């Protein structure tokens, strides 16, 4: 069984016992349980259910595993023949959650 959910403005494909990286959730501690209620689609082995826009009474539960930062992305800007060069870096924060169940 898997589901497509809308969580924090992004869509994720989730299954039971998988870990996904979502945008950083600042006000949550590691080990807390969260519920995801915006489920757009659920598929088991035979049936597929689509919501309009979400499926009523469908809930996914997850546990917060950790917080972290992605690898650094280098941003390099240059204008040729002008002597302009600029290098910047960026690291995006994320939260890792583990899906503990999907109820429908």
Domain ranges of the chain: 2-103
Q: What stretches of 1-104 show up as alpha helix (H) in DSSP?
A: none
The answer on pLDDT for 104 being more than 90 is: no
pLDDT tens for each residue of 41-86: 999 989 999 999 999 999 999 999 999 999 999 999 999 999 999 9
pLDDT tens for each residue of 16-40: 999 999 999 999 999 999 999 999 9
Cross-sheet strand order for the sheet of 59-69: 19-23, 93-103, 59-69, 33-36
User: Among 62, 25, 58, which Cα is nearest to 43's?
Assistant: 58
């Amino acid at each position: 069984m898997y589901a497509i959910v809308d969580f924090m403005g992004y869509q994720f494909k989730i299954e039971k016992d998988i870990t996904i990286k979502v945008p950083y959730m600042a006000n949550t501690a590691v080990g807390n349980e969260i519920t995801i209620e915006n489920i757009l689609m659920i598929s088991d082995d035979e049936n597929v259910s689509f919501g309009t826009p979400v499926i009523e009474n469908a809930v996914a539960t997850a546990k917060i595993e950790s917080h972290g930062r992605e690898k650094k992305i280098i941003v390099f800007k240059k204008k040729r023949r002008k002597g302009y060069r600029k290098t910047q870096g960026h690291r995006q924060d994320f939260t890792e959650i583990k899906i503990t169940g999907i109820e429908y």
